[in-house]
Chains A and B, each alone.
Chain A
C-alpha cells in the first residue's frame, strides 16, 4: 500500500520528464534502492519525518486484545495480587516464621507491590511517545523493523499471552520495543525493570507510568517478595493484560556479545502454562542491533572497572549532549514466536501438578531443564537474527591491524570477512547501491570518535581520548579506546565462534595431522572454557562441532582425510584470521590462570581463599603489568568481565573451588587441575615467557612464578 502512495507521488514527475523506458517504471535507475524498505525491514521513522508527531501520538489506536482478557486497571491488578492465594499463603508462612502480626506482614506485602507495580496509562504513554519519537529522530537515521512479524504478533496477541524477550545491549532496548509497539497499534508491553531506574526522580515515574515494573536484583529466599513477584507477573500472563517483556540476559550485555541466560523470570512467566492456567504462552525473541551503541564509552570504562555512574536524572540531562550525535540505524528483528506447548511436546507431563494447589508447588526438574534449554534457544535465535553492521566487520579487521591499514587493504579484508560472515548465516546490513569505500567511509564517519582516515588514506584507530586523560591511568584510557572497538568486533564473534574454536587447535598444531577425535576434544575444552563468554546450547557440542567443521572444510580450505585433519594444508588465511579474532580471550584466560597459580599458600599448604571480585581485580593488575612490560599487546585482556568469566569457567571446570564463609562465596585454585589447564592453554596460543616478577597489589606482594 505504502509503495503505491510513493508511486502516486512520483507519478507526476515521471510524466513530466518522461525519460523512462516505459510507463511502468518511474525511477529509471537500478541503483536507486529504497532505503525505506530493505529486505524484510521497513523504516518506521520515515513516516514520522513527514507527518505530524502530535497527530501520531494522539491518534486512535486499534489494539488487539487477548481473547480471554478481562479488562482491569493497574490498581485492580495490585488488588488481585494481594488477595491471591499465593500471597495469602506467603503472608501466613511469614507470620509463622517471624512471629509478626497479620497487619505488619500485610503492610510489607502492600509495600512490595506498591514498589513493584507499573501504572500503565494511555495519557502518559501518548505524551511520552511524542517526546520519544522526537528523540529517536534525533538519534537515529532509521529504525528498521521486520514488518511481517508484526502482523504475526498482532494475530497471536489475540490468541495467547505473549512474552517479549529482546536482546539487551542498551538502555534504549525497552524504549524502542515500546516505541515499535506504539507505532503498530499493539498493546504496550509491561516491562520487568531493575530497581536502579526507580530511584531516578522523573524518569522513574515516567517509566512506571509507561509500563515498567520494578524488580529487586536479588531477593534470594524472601518468600513474601517471591510470592508477590510471581503472582504479579503471572496474573499479567493469565489475564493477558499486556505482553510481558523482560531480558533473558538479566542485564545489559556490556560486551555487546550475549550474556548467559537467567531463567528466574522466564520460569515464573511460564509456570502458568505448566500449571495449566493458560492454554499456551508464546515466547517472542527480539533482536535489537545498533550501528552505534549509545553507551559505548560507558561500557568500555565499566568493563575496565571504572564504576558506572548510578542512573540519575542529571545523567539523563547530560545525555542531552548525545542528542547532537548520529547513531546510525537500528534494526529490530522480531523473531519466530515459540509456543511453549509445542516446545514441550513429549518433554514434560503437566499431570504432576494435579495433586496439590497450584500456588504452592514449584516446577519439576524436567520443567526447569526445559526452560533452561528454551532460554538458550531464545538467545541463539536473538543472535541469529541480529543485523550485522559493516562497522563490526571493519572493527574486526582494524583490531588485527592495530597500527593502521591502508584503505585499499581494508576494502579487501572487509569484503573477504563480510563474505565469510555471510556464508555462516549472518545478515549483513550492507547497502547494495553504494561503493564499498563509500560504505566504509560512512561507517568510519559515524564512529569518528574511534577511527579516522588519514590524508594518505590509511585507516587508523584514534589512540587516545584527550578529554579524559587527567587523573586517569593512561594505560586504562587507551585500553578504553581499544575496548570500544572490541565492543563492535564482539558483535561479530557470535557468528564465528564455533568455526574459530576448531580453527584455533588446527592453527596451533605442530604435528602433521590431527585426528578428528583429538580436534573434537580440543573443541569441547575450548567451548567449556568460553561457555560464559559465548552462548552454546548445553549438550549440543557434538552437533555444533560437526556443523562448524563442515563449513570449514566446505568453504575455508580445511582438509580432512581418513578422519584426520591435514594440518599444513589446513592452516590458511581462514583459520589464521578466525583464530586471531579469539586469541585475546585465550590470552586473558591464561593471565587469569597464571595469577591463580601464583596465589600464596596459607599456613597448611592450602591456597588462601579470596573473594571472586578480588581475584578478578588482582588478575587485572597482573595483566596490566604484562602490558606495561611489553609482554602482551592486547589491552582488552584488562577487561574485568573477561576476568570474572574466566574465573567462573575455571570454577565450572573444577580448576577453582568455592567455599562459603558467613554466607559469602570465596574461591581458591585447585592447583593440579589448574596447571594442567594452563598448559593446555599455552598449546593454543603464543604466551610470553614470564620472568619471575613481583607485582604490587595494593599493599600485598604477589609473586608470579615463571615456571611451575
Chain B
C-alpha cells in the first residue's frame, strides 16, 4: 500500500478539559482483537487442565479458572473438546478487495492535513461490526467490499471539511464510532461502486466543557463510554449511561442508534440525556440554537438524528445531562420460584414506579449459565448456590432449581434512599414469592452480560454460533412473547435438523411504565450443518417474525441496520417509511452517507448483499 497515511501533530484541542491519550489507538488492532470481541489480552481459553480460564488482568474474572463452565457447555450445547474450529490466522492484503481510488478526492484530502490511510488492516477493521455473520467471516472467510480509506478527523471542523470534499467528489462516507454495531450497519454495501471512506471518530474523544450550573457536559462524539464516565468522575459527575458495550461504544454511536443504558431507570435512555447535538450533513451542519431542557418548535430535529444510523450525516458533538456521582451503589438479587412470578413482580415494581437503577430478570437457563461462570472458590464469591440450596430449597419448599428465575438489581443514590428503595423492592418481591438472593449473585448477573461477548468467541472455537437479539413489548404480552419466541426457535432448529440442543435463553432487561425490553441469547452447535451463518440468520429471522406477531418491536436499542430492514415497513408503515425517505432525499440527495442502513434501499437487496458480501472460504 502506498503510504498516504498522514498524521496530524495536534494532540488535543485547547479547550480540552482533559489531556489523557485516547483509550483506543488509531490502529485499533494493536489493542483490540481483529477477529473477535474486546481486548487482545482478555479471552476465554481452555487451559492445560481442560478447564476454561479467562486470561488477562482487566476484569474480575481475569486469571480465574471457571471450573463449571466446560461441563456446562458440554451438557447444554453439546460441545466436545475434541472438535475444534480454530479461525484463519489472518486476512492479508491479497484476500481483500483492492481499494477504489477517487484520485481527486485523495488529492484534496492530502491538502487538508486531515489524518487518513488506505492501510489494508485499518480498512478491514472498519469493514464490520460484531454480528455473527461479520465475526464468522473474519474467522473463516473474507469480505467482498471493505472501506477504501480510513479518515481520522480530530474535530468538528475537520468533519465538515471531509463531508464537503466527499460531496464534491461523490465519495461514500460511513461513520465509524466504537465498531460495536450488531445490526450490520457498518457493513459496506456490496453494490457500492464509489470510493468508500470510513469516517473514524475515535480521535474526537474530548470532553470540551462541563457546565456544573446546568449539569450538562459537552463532548466530542468519538469519546467511548468508559472514558466519558472516567473523565467525568474525576470532576465528581457521571452521565449514568451504561450500555453493555460501554467499554468500546461511542457517544456518537449511541445517538445514531438510539442506545439504551442499563441504568436508564434513573438517568434515562440516550434520547432523555441528550440536550444538544451537532450533526454534519451534506447540506451543512444541523443543530439547535439553544441548550434548553425542552422546547416546542415543531418537529424535533433531534429525533431525525437519533436513530438515523449514519444514513443522514455524522454526529460530531453532543451536550449531555450529567449527575453527581451517587453516594451509594449496591447490587442485589431476588430469586423467584419461576419466570412467570418474576415477570409479574417486575410489572408491579414498574407500576409502583420504584424500580432501582437497574432490574433484570433472568430465566432459568440464564441463571444456570450465570452459575456456571462462577470461578473456583475464591473468597470474594460467596457460594450462593450452596447457601440457597441449604437455606431456601430445603426450608422453603417448592423452589425447583430447574424452574427458578433470578432478578438482578442495582441500586444507586443517596444511602438512605437506596435503603428505602431496597426495602420496598424486596417487600414487593415477597408478594410474588421472591426471596432476596444476595449481592454477589446480582453482581455476577451483570458480569454475565459483559462476559458473554467474550464467551461467544470461545464458542466459535468449538462449532458454536451464537448471537443476541432484543425487543420491546407491552407488559400483557411479555410472557407470551418469551414463551412463543423460545418455542419457535426450538422448533425451527428441530425442523432444520440441527443435531444438538440449541441454547435459548432470555431476560427481561429493562422495565417501563407500559412494557419491557426482552433480551434473547440464541446459539447452537453446528457440527453437521452446511452453512451455519445462513441457518442462524434464517432462524433469527423466524424469531423476529414471531416477535412481531407477539406484539414486540423490531428492536429496542440495537437498531435496524441492514439485518432488520425487512421488518421496517411493517413497523412504521408505508407513510412512515416514505417520510423517512423524504428526509433522506432532502438532507443527502446524493447518498453520500451511503451505508444503506434503515430506510435506504429495499430490504430484499440486503439478503442478497450479505450473501454476496461474504465469501466463506472454509465452508
Tell me the A residues contacting B by CB distance below 8 Å: 68, 276-280, 349-351, 353-354, 357-358
Nearest residue (CB) in B for A348 is B549
Interface segment, one of B6-14, B106-114, B481-489: B481-489
Residues of B within 8 A of A357 (CB): 476
Contact for B570 among A277, A280, A351, A353, CB less than 8 A: A351
CB distance from B543 to the nearest CB of A (A): 12
> How many contacts A-B (CB < 8 Å)?
33
The answer to whether A279 touches B481, judged by C-beta atoms less than 8 angstroms apart, is no
What is the chain B residue whose CB lies nearest that of A67? B487
In the complex, the answer to whether B476 meets A350 with C-beta atoms within 8 Å is: no
Q: Which of A279, A349, A357 has the most CB of B within 10 A?
A: A279
Given contacts A357-B476, A358-B476, contact A279 B483 (CB under 8 A): yes
Q: Which residue of A lies closest to B481 (CB)?
A: A276
| B550 at interface by CB-CB < 8 Å | yes
Per-position contact with A for B545-556: 1 when CB-CB < 8 Å, else 0?
Answer: 010111100000
**CB-contact partner of A279 in B488, B548, B551, under 8 A:** B488
Cβ of B483 and Cβ of A351 under 8 Å apart? no
Instruction: Report 15 cross-chain contacts, Cβ distance below 8 Å, ordered by A residue.
Output: A276-B546, A276-B550, A278-B484, A279-B491, A280-B487, A280-B491, A349-B570, A350-B548, A350-B549, A351-B549, A351-B570, A353-B551, A354-B551, A358-B476, A358-B477
In the complex, what residues of A have CB within 8 A of residue B476's CB?
357-358
Contact yes or no, B548 A354, CB < 8 A: yes
**Residue count of chain B within 8 Å CB distance of chain A:** 15
The 8 A CB mask of B534-567 against A (1 = contact, 0 = none) is: 0000000000001011110000000000000000
A350 to B549, CA, bound (A): 5
Q: How far apart are the CA atoms of A350 and B487 in the complex, in Å?
A: 17
Set of chain A residues within 8 Å of B550, measured between Cβ atoms: 276, 350
Is B605 positioned at the interface, with any CB of A under 8 Å from its CB?
A: no
Does B480 make an interface contact (CB < 8 A)? Answer: yes
State the CA gap A276–B476 with chains docked (Å): 11
Main secondary structure of the interface of B (DSSP, over half): helix
B480 touches A276 (CB 8 A): yes
- Report the nearest A residue to B571, measured CB to CB: A351
Q: Shortest Cβ distance from B358 into chain A, in angstroms?
A: 27
Taking CB atoms and an 8 Å cut-off, the chain B residues in 560-603 that contact chain A are 570
Q: In the complex, A353→B477 CA distance in Å?
A: 11
Map CB proximity to A onto B429-454 as digits: 1 under 8 Å, 0 otherwise.
00000000000000000000000000
Encode B330-356 as 1/0 by CB contact (under 8 A) with A. 000000000000000000000000000
Residues of B within 8 A of A277 (CB): 480
Q: A276-B477, A351-B549 are in contact. List 6 more A-B contacts (CB 8 A).
A: A276-B480, A276-B546, A279-B487, A279-B491, A280-B491, A350-B549
Chain A residues with Cβ under 8 A from B546's Cβ? 276
In B87-142, which residues have CB < 8 Å from any A CB?
none
**Which residue of chain B is the closest to A356 with respect to CB atoms?**
B551
- In the complex, A278 Cα to B546 Cα: how many Å? 11
Bound-state Cα–Cα, A349 to B551, Å? 11
A276–B549 touching, CB < 8 Å: yes
Alpha-carbon gap, A68 to B480, bound state (A):
11
A276 surroundings in chain B (CB, below 8 A): 477, 480-481, 484, 546, 549-551
Residue ID in chain B nearest A351 by CB atoms = B548
How distant is B244 from chain A, measured CB to nearest CB, in Å? 27
Q: Chain B residues near A350 (CB, 8 Å)?
A: 548-550
- Could you say which residues of chain A place their CB within 8 Å of the CB of B484? 276, 278-279
* Chain A neighbourhood of B481, CB < 8 A: 276
Residues B177-193 near A (CB distance < 8 A) = none
CA distance A68 to B481 in the complex (A): 13
Q: Which of B460-512 touch A at CB < 8 Å?
A: 476-477, 480-481, 483-484, 487-488, 491
Q: How far is the CA of A354 from the CA of B549 in the complex (A)?
A: 7
Chain A's nearest CB lies how many Å from the CB of B520?
Answer: 15
Closest 7 CB pairs of A and B: A350-B549, A279-B487, A354-B551, A276-B550, A279-B484, A351-B548, A276-B549
Residues of A within 8 A of B551 (CB): 276, 353-354
A349, B545: Cα distance in complex, Å: 9
- The residue of chain A having its C-beta at the shortest distance from the C-beta of B548 within the complex is A351
Q: How far is the CA of A357 from the CA of B546 in the complex (A)?
A: 18
Which residues of the other chain, A, contact B491 by a CB distance below 8 angstroms?
A: 279-280
Docked Cα-Cα span, A354 to B548, in Å, equals: 8
Q: Which residues of A contact B548 (CB under 8 A)?
A: 350-351, 354
Set of chain B residues within 8 Å of A279, measured between Cβ atoms: 483-484, 487-488, 491
Question: Which residues of B have CB within 8 Å of A353?
Answer: 551
Least CB distance from A291 to B in Å reads 40
Complex contacts, B488 vs chain A, CB 8 Å: 279
